[in-house]
Amino acid sequence: MSANSSRGGNWPRIRKLCFLTYGTVCHICNEQIDMSLSATNPRSPLAPSVDHLVPKANGGTDTLSNLRPAHVRCNSMRVNQLNTPPTDTSRNWYPNRIPATDDSEDW
Ligand SMILES: [Zn+2]
């Protein structure tokens, strides 16, 4: 239905273009990314990945200008930083059970 469904086919190309455009140095830790891991060990923490400068959750897009090369490790560290609260009381972030309001609530 929406134009968003086109991601599947284009992503590998965009990803490749990102490395061609910005090189193979991680934009987070500034160290070289071993591109051969992409074929031999894509799940390695040092394997190449493409990071979104503006996370998709925040409205970021898959356009080249929003993408930078990053290690899998650095990429996921950054995602965690963005997604987790600064304190370790993550429990508090889960909304408390809101008592169900019965039909007594009338506007
Ligand atoms: Zn890195």
Closest to 46 (Cα-Cα) out of 72, 83, 28, 27: 72
CA of 87 to the centre of ligand 1 (A): 24
Residue 31 C-alpha to ligand 1 middle, in angstroms? 6
pLDDT (tens digit per residue) in 81-97: 666 555 554 444 445 55
Q: Indicate the pLDDT class of residue 77, thresholds 50, 70 and 90.
A: confident
Q: Which residues pair with 70 in a beta bridge?
A: 49
Run of H or E residues at 14: helix 7-22
Question: pLDDT tens for residues 20-75?
Answer: 999 999 999 999 999 999 999 999 999 999 999 999 999 999 999 999 999 999 99
Select the CATH number that applies to the domain covering 9-83 from these four: 2.60.40, 1.10.1740, 1.20.1270, 1.10.30.
Answer: 1.10.30
Distance between Cα 96 and ligand 1 center (Å):
37
How far is ligand 1, taken at its centre, from the CA of residue 90, in Å? 26
CA of 18 to the centre of ligand 1 (A): 15
Task: Please tell me the distance between residue 19's alpha carbon and the centre of ligand 1 in angstroms.
Answer: 14
Residue from 37, 42, 86, 78 nearest 60 by CA: 78
